[in-house]
């Protein structure tokens, strides 16, 4: 992936890909953040899971989301 396509800083990023999880809504939302902003990305993905998919906020959900984050290298 080229940085200029997304206008983001090159480097190591993390992605939360809702499309990688089973969903009745067939959601394809992808969120990204620099690797050093992991907690911010988990917070955003938690909010999406709760508001868009009806999940309940819990430490277990937070851990599941944290574990599903995928590394992305932006060039």
Note the pTM of the prediction, 2 decimals: 0.87
Please answer whether residues 38 and 53 qualify as being in contact, where contact means their C-beta atoms are separated by less than 8 angstroms: no
Q: How many CA atoms lie within 13 A of 35 on its CB side?
A: 9
Angstrom distance (rounded) from CA 10 to CA 75: 5
The H or E element that residue 21 is part of is none
Q: List the chain pLDDT tens, one digit each, 75 residues.
A: 565 576 789 999 999 999 887 777 889 999 999 999 999 999 999 999 999 999 999 999 999 999 999 999 988
Where are the chain's structural domains? 3-74
Angstrom distance (rounded) from CA 16 to CA 52: 14
Helix/strand/coil for 72: strand
């Amino acid at each position: 992936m080229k940085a200029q396509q997304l206008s983001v800083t090159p480097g190591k990023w993390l992605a939360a890909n809702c499309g990688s999880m089973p969903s009745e809504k067939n959601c394809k939302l992808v969120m990204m953040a620099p690797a050093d902003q992991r907690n911010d990305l988990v917070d955003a993905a938690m909010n999406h899971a709760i508001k868009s998919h009806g999940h309940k906020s819990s430490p277990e959900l937070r851990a599941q989301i944290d574990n599903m984050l995928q590394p992305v290298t932006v060039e």
